[in-house]
Structure 1
Amino acid sequence: MTERNEPNGGNEDSAGSAPVEDEITPEAAFELVAHETRIAVLQALQAAGGGPLSFGDIRERIGLTDPGQCHYHVDKLCDHFVWSTDDGYRLSPAGWQLVGALLSGSITATIDEETVVVGSSCTACGGDLVAHFRQSGVTIICTDCRFVQTDPDIPPALVDDWPSSELPEVVSRYTLQMEVDAAHGFCPNCRGRVSRGVVTPTDVSAPDWFDGETIEALVVTDCHRCGKWWHAAPSVAALAEPAVVALYHDHGIDLREQPWWALDGLTVGSTTVRKDPLYVHVHIDLGEPKTVVFDEAFEFVETYE
């Protein structure tokens, strides 16, 4: 699976529904939090479980001795990032979103470059896999044939919260969660509506590099709102399908505990594409071969032996 981002130019809803009107402009929202004291207020509320905190509690926690200054900054945050209630001040949903973005490191930090041995074999040649962490993501690649298993951008918090030895498995769960979000119709970046579709190497919408690859098809997910898009091999995207999750579960395999490139019975690229109309057949062999069929929108159709 590889993640890419290419804005499509705005918030237009291709289904024709009315756009959401901003209560404040993006510029005004950023201006509201463009002060270290206001960020400290949000972090104090987050550390208190979202609140409530009294004004005195906030002032004590952020270490501001001047009550007037503290009131000024708290008031600036109220109604949008902070709610004033009878019990005290609480983080609003917008406040939680902002603090979450800060804690993820996505907008404030970068990832240290590091190479970690994955401990699994390449799905293409059986060679050793390594994970190369870069400033904004990770590439899991074979040291022998150089086949890239996955190449997503990831938030720095993903690297901070787990030991290095567990990071490859964590990356697998993170990329599969993107496919789960897509299967439910949501963009993991902006929570906008996404479309999924199957492309073959000859399609106009296929990535330029795809022509000449041995994989017969890709599943491409595209957000209508922010333009973020990414692609995955059908055999990987299929792991978000309940029928496939159940198939592995029935054989004692929890897809959350084993990276997809090390799964028994699954070969990345082990798919058959049939056209007019287009159907993708994903082959899984766990001792009793099964084929899972998806249509051109990568919607589940059936499972057969």
Structure 2
Amino acid sequence: MEAIEMAEESDHCIRPAEAFSLLGNETRIKILETLWKAEEQPVPFSRLYEAADVTNSSKFNYHLGKLLGQYIRKTDGGYELRTAGKSVVGMIVKGSFNAHPQPDPFEVDEPCTKCSGQLMARYENEMLAIECSSCDRGHGRYSFPPGGMLGRDNDELLTVFDRRVRHLLNLAQDGVCPECSGKIRSMIEMGEIETHDAEISVRFVCQQCNHTLQAPIGFTLLNRSPVVTFYRDHGLELADRRYWRLPWCVSDDCTTIRSVTPHSFDVALTLDSETLCITLDRDLNLIRTRRIAL
């Protein structure tokens, strides 16, 4: 990765291997966790020392010194987390380091958008997938940190998953990587994708960490004003409808290719006796909308 190579060659960054080695101690992790939980920062030395529960002050000073600069900073009022320190504790809270839940698949109380069959939710390798048990249509598979699985019933879990997926794709659409905040490049792809029943999709790829998200073209319409207004005019709040209930979000059933050179697309959304037809260009900019009475 370019970012790792830059860190290896940089004169003002410590090497990645050294940065990770600094975390191999319970006292240091305790210091980071204490700063994370503090209601106000900076945290005075005395409070940090007391929370670390270390009887030897010189030992505490040694471990505190190892974290300075890379994970925490010292100010006139005490100590506070740097971005790297927040990231480390955040990964612990998310459960990526130490939690590996393996729940059984469970039923989703919403029908398949293709055959109206029973949807199932499956969690594996920190990914949550919504799939039809009858026709096997994929309704999306996206990352979901292990910590998000804890302390929630199935309905709460699905609600949070829906909100998380929307948030991740919103960031990607805005050109911001949801993992590292690096620059995102988007591209239109033709061909079947594994996670959805679609052959027309948009792929978002981070130029810094290579994080990738992929979804049907229609998914990019979730927060577009004409779509939100169209649903509201029919008495529906789009934000309250989980994305897998929307055929245009999980497949390309409602999408047609308008032109190939350059690419442009039509997406048709139908409610009751009215259709909203949206035309998008190759960069997924909205070119035109029209509402047609059926």
TM-score calculated relative to the size of structure 2: 0.86
CA distance in 2, matches of 1:21, 1:145: 56
Structure 2 match to 1:283? 268
The yes-or-no answer on 1:65 pairing with 2:58 is: no
| 1:59-98 correspondence runs (5 A) | 59-98=49-88
Of 197, 202, 219, 1:219 maps to 202
Structure 2 match to 1:5? none
Q: Secondary structure at the match of 1:289?
A: strand
Counterpart contact for 2:230–2:276, Cα < 8 Å: no
The yes-or-no answer on 1:127 pairing with 2:117 is: yes
Structure 2 match to 1:234? 217
Counterpart contact for 1:169–1:257, Cα < 8 Å: no
Counterpart contact for 1:137–1:151, Cα < 8 Å: yes
Seen in structure 2, the aligned counterparts of structure 1 residues 124 and 226 have a Cα distance that, compared at 3 Å, is: same
CA distance in 1, matches of 2:198, 2:179: 27
Structure 1 match to 2:284? 298
Q: How far did 1:181 drift? A: 0.8
Q: How far did 1:71 drift? A: 0.8
The yes-or-no answer on 1:184 pairing with 2:184 is: no
Structure 1 match to 2:131? 141
Q: Secondary structure at the match of 2:46?
A: helix
Q: For 1:129, give the aligned amino acid.
A: L
Q: Secondary structure at the match of 2:54?
A: coil
Cα distance per residue 1:137-182 (max 9 Å; x no partner):
1221111111111112211122125322222232222212121011
Counterpart contact for 2:117–2:132, Cα < 8 Å: yes
Count of residue pairs brought into register by the alignment: 284
Q: For 1:303, give the aligned amino acid.
A: T
Seen in structure 2, the aligned counterparts of structure 1 residues 51 and 250 have a Cα distance that, compared at 3 Å, is: farther
Seen in structure 2, the aligned counterparts of structure 1 residues 214 and 229 have a Cα distance that, compared at 3 Å, is: closer
Counterpart contact for 2:137–2:197, Cα < 8 Å: no
Cα distance per residue 1:30-71 (max 9 Å; x no partner):
122221111100001111136322222112112111111111
Cα distance per residue 1:71-98 (max 9 Å; x no partner):
1111111122111111111112222122
Seen in structure 2, the aligned counterparts of structure 1 residues 116 and 194 have a Cα distance that, compared at 3 Å, is: same
CA distance in 2, matches of 1:265, 1:197: 19
Seen in structure 2, the aligned counterparts of structure 1 residues 280 and 51 have a Cα distance that, compared at 3 Å, is: same
CA RMSD of aligned residues (A): 2.7
Cα distance per residue 1:244-293 (max 9 Å; x no partner):
34443554544443211224987732111122221121111234311222
Seen in structure 2, the aligned counterparts of structure 1 residues 164 and 47 have a Cα distance that, compared at 3 Å, is: same
Seen in structure 2, the aligned counterparts of structure 1 residues 22 and 121 have a Cα distance that, compared at 3 Å, is: farther
- Once the two structures are overlaid, the 10-residue window that deviates more, 256-265 or 135-144, is 256-265
Q: For 1:159, give the aligned amino acid.
A: M
Seen in structure 2, the aligned counterparts of structure 1 residues 70 and 293 have a Cα distance that, compared at 3 Å, is: same
- Once the two structures are overlaid, the 10-residue window that deviates more, 147-156 or 280-289, is 280-289
- Once the two structures are overlaid, the 10-residue window that deviates more, 177-186 or 20-29, is 20-29
Seen in structure 2, the aligned counterparts of structure 1 residues 72 and 248 have a Cα distance that, compared at 3 Å, is: farther
Cα distance per residue 1:161-207 (max 9 Å; x no partner):
53222222322222121210111101112221111122223xxxx76
Q: Secondary structure at the match of 1:123?
A: coil
Structure 1 match to 2:242? 259
CA distance in 2, matches of 1:263, 1:129: 13
CA distance in 2, matches of 1:161, 1:225: 34
Counterpart contact for 1:115–1:132, Cα < 8 Å: yes
Structure 2 match to 1:196? 186
Structure 2 match to 1:6? none
- Once the two structures are overlaid, the 10-residue window that deviates more, 242-251 or 101-110, is 242-251
Of 128, 143, 148, 1:153 maps to 143
Of 258, 261, 275, 1:274 maps to 258
CA distance in 2, matches of 1:130, 1:64: 48
The yes-or-no answer on 1:10 pairing with 2:23 is: no
CA distance in 1, matches of 2:149, 2:111: 22
Cα distance per residue 1:18-38 (max 9 Å; x no partner):
x99862221221122221111
Seen in structure 2, the aligned counterparts of structure 1 residues 111 and 301 have a Cα distance that, compared at 3 Å, is: farther
The yes-or-no answer on 1:101 pairing with 2:91 is: yes
**Structure 1: where are the runs of 5+ without partners?**
1-8, 13-18
**Greater relative contact order, per chain length (Cα 8 Å cut-off, separation 6+):** 1
Q: Secondary structure at the match of 2:13?
A: coil
Seen in structure 2, the aligned counterparts of structure 1 residues 298 and 264 have a Cα distance that, compared at 3 Å, is: closer
